[in-house]
Amino acid sequence: MTVHNREIAEQFSHLADLLEIEGADAYRVRAYRQAAQTIAGLSESLADRAAAGEDLSALPHIGESLAEKIRTICETGHLPQLEEAEERLPAALSDLLEISGLGPKRVKALHQDLHIDNLQDLKQAVAEHRVRELSGFGAKSEQALADKLAQWQGPAERLPLIEAEEIARPLVHSLRGLDGVDQVTIAGSFRRRKETVGDLDILVTAAEGTSVMERFTGYDEVSEVVSQGETRATVLLRAGLQVDLRLVPAAAYGAALHYFTGAKAHNIAVRRLGVQRDLKINEYGVFHGDERVGGRTEQEVYDAVDLPFIEPELREDRGEIEAAQEDRLPALIGLDDIRGDLHAHTKASDGHDSLRQMAEAAAERGYAYLAITDHSQHVTVAHGLDPQRMAAQIDAVDALNEELDGRIRVLKAVELDILADGSLDLPDDVLERLDLCVCAVHHKLDLPRQKQTERILRALDSQHCHILAHPRGRLIGKRAGYELDLERVMRAAAERGCALEVNAQPKRLDLDDSDCRLAKELGVRIAISTDAHSQGNLDYMRFGVDQARRGWLTADDVINTRGLDDLLALLRH
């Protein structure tokens, strides 16, 4: 039984909540939260690392004390300090912190004075108008709580980035359409291209007296104005998404953009560097005493603390500040570096478009090559190809390449099922005729960790396995992915020269950002592929590139930045 990083992070996070309600030292609480964040963002299994006797205190925000606690959790599954806290306070009290407007102080008051232990107790107390009697609360807060509790459906779900884009587009358009509005920029995790977005942070610069706030709070899709001031407003959209708007003067645009892009931990780290230089950095600029010394651009903010510009995708306080100080920031891959797509389907299996349509669409995007990777026979629901149909498709691709006359090269390929025992779903004599094999797991997702790992390792042993597709098998918000020792798979892939895929489907993004970073560390090559099931899906490439950038990858780390000849040479190895 391996303890997941996620479970360790949750225990620290829960402990932080309970300690905060108890009124513990705020910095101690923050230390637990930062540690939880570090752990949640790791791809390598801490349980494996701990078992191997590695020094966990080398990790950011993990010191001796927390390293010891991690070891305890890995060995026993429990954190004694959390269990002790749960004896002092009801464990469900931390649920109350999820309600916006309730922080640690008010939750403590609710518990101590009204004996509220959980959300149910709170509902009852609100219904009986007992909350308004409490010092610090009033009729208005009680009513606000009543409204929020009535709509409460658990912690707000984060939206996949692509859905956030669709919601943001018309809103941004509406704001830009207003006279006097200069810049409208979406910052926050959206700009950092995080795979999911919890809210939208919109930054606006405008001429004085422009009615931006009115336009914003009056937007059609707004279901509730949460707060509204001179320079800042928060609304909820009907889609359930929270949107914050910040109005700043043009001279502060860079400082505001930096502040509003976050991540919070990155901002704190940058501001700390400012403090060391006797500078104050806030959303209005960089200040030396009362004198404003920068802030029109983000570059000025970084200049002030002697750092090179740090790309938004890297701003997570995951070592980018240190890397910037040591001048070893990666030159991140860009969409323009991509020369072709190595995973796409046609009507032959479960795609919507023909071979020719897919090839034409890829050529229009300026690609040098497109691998057609229809499913193999085991995936019957997707009408997977058996040896005969595969042979027919190989011939069809050869014929099409002749007709295309070098405009683009279609690669003969397959998305080949890895069977439960790790064998491959088509015989060698068929596979030998292909340019490329993309191997993937589509069934028996519930094998135990060791079996699943060995299954994939066996598949990697085949000389035909060029790329391991969607290695974790997760679906964002739906499925966690199968149990797997990914680090072991990566080491094996590195040895065999097999690439791992970043599947760019917005609901997969698999590998994810931190997996990419681990892959790079271990010397694993990456393929960024769309897994397109239609021509339009080829545009998902940018979502894959986003995650690769978040994972510190350069063009050199990614095989489909190579030209056709280099790629083919690489695949032959």
Partner DNA sequence: GCCGTTTTCGGCCCGACTGTTTTCAGTCG
Nearer residue to DNA within complex by CB, 273 or 335? 273
Interacting residue with DNA among 92, 207, 250, 275 (CB under 7 A): 275
Say which DSSP state 306 is in: T
Selection from 20, 141, 345, 405 nearest residue 12 by Cα: 20
Query: What binding mask, one character per residue, do residues 306-335 give for DNA by CB under 7 A, x or -?
Result: -------------------x----------
Tell me if 141 contacts DNA by CB under 7 A: yes
The Cβ-side half-sphere exposure at 167, using a 13 Å CA radius, reads 23
- In our burial notation (b when 16+ CB lie closer than 10 A, e otherwise), range 284-306 reads bbbbeeeeeebbbebebbbebbe
Residues 482 and 504: their CA atoms lie apart, in Å, by 19
Sequence-separated (6 or more) residues with CB below 8 Å from residue 112: none
Tell me if 392 contacts DNA by CB under 7 A: no
Interacting residue with DNA among 35, 394, 538, 555 (CB under 7 A): 35
Least Å from the CB of residue 436 to DNA: 43
Residues 302 and 295: their CA atoms lie apart, in Å, by 9
Residues 186 and 180: their CA atoms lie apart, in Å, by 18
Tell me if 388 contacts DNA by CB under 7 A: no
**Structure tokens, 544:** 């894959």
Nearer residue to DNA within complex by CB, 277 or 479? 277
Name which of residues 75 to 114 contact DNA (CB under 7 A): 81, 97, 99-107
Least Å from the CB of residue 59 to DNA: 7
Tell me if 129 contacts DNA by CB under 7 A: no
Nearer residue to DNA within complex by CB, 251 or 420? 251
Tell me if 136 contacts DNA by CB under 7 A: yes
Nearer residue to DNA within complex by CB, 6 or 264? 264
Tell me if 468 contacts DNA by CB under 7 A: no
Our CA dihedral for 432, 433, 438, 439, rounded to 10 degrees, sits at -40
> CA torsion sign, 315 to 506 to 511 to 452?
positive
The DSSP string of 501-523 is: EEE--TTT-BS-HHHHHHHHHTT
Sequence-separated (6 or more) residues with CB below 8 Å from residue 114: 121, 125, 130, 131, 134
Tell me if 482 contacts DNA by CB under 7 A: no
Q: Which stretch binds DNA (CB under 7 A): 232-240, 312-320, 371-379, 547-555?
A: 232-240
Residues 332 and 193: their CA atoms lie apart, in Å, by 13
By CB under 7 A, the count of residues binding DNA is 65
Interacting residue with DNA among 39, 116, 144, 202 (CB under 7 A): 144
**Structure tokens, 256:** 């505001």
Nearer residue to DNA within complex by CB, 22 or 483? 22
Q: Which stretch binds DNA (CB under 7 A): 56-64, 352-360, 390-398, 481-489?
A: 56-64
- For DNA, the binding residues (CB under 7 A) are 25, 27-28, 30-32, 34-35, 57, 60-67, 81, 97, 99-107, 132, 135-142, 144, 188, 199, 201, 227-234, 242, 244, 264, 267-268, 271-272, 274-276, 280-284, 325
